[in-house]
Amino acid sequence: MTDKKGRVFVGARARLLIKGVKVGYARNCSGGESIDYEEVNGLDNIEVLEYAATKYRVRFSAGFVRLVGETAKTLGHFPRVGQNPDEHLSNILTSGELTITIEDNVTGNLIMTLEQAKASSNNFNIDAVGVVGRDMEFNAIRMRDESEV
């Protein structure tokens, strides 16, 4: 059992990068991948015949400390509103895809990579006493863990 000592991955070892750039004040992050299965049923049978895979989806969320002069829009993580509705729509439709990675800052190894990610929400929270935060959610095409990168 002693061969596992020092291999525990903790938050202090986690480095979050978006578009290859380290996020300086990341507070937390979470994500997951899921597969949806639909029942295949047939007449004259009370049991489900099989479960057919119909969707693979990846979700990711991250919380950041809000720095003055640095926003998700200035960093290119979320599309800008623009000057009018047409520009707003164009900014959303042409917003680029992001690569989000989590790496071990002790070994330099990649722990997780989210490919072809797009931001789906950009939120903030302000308390009377405390550090102002901003939270974002992302959808991605695929998520690879360290066994796949």
Query: Taking the model in full, what pTM does it have?
Result: 0.87
pLDDT in tens, 38-71: 999 999 999 999 999 999 999 999 999 999 988 9
Q: What is the rounded distance in angstroms from the CA atom of residue 23 to the CA atom of residue 18?
A: 7
Contacts of 62 (CB under 8 A, 6+ apart): 16, 23, 26, 28, 29, 30, 135, 136, 138
Would the pLDDT of 6 be above 90? no
DSSP secondary structure code for residue 2 in this structure? G
Stretch 73-99: mean pLDDT, rounded? 95
Residue 75: the pLDDT is 92
What pLDDT does residue 7 have?
A: 82
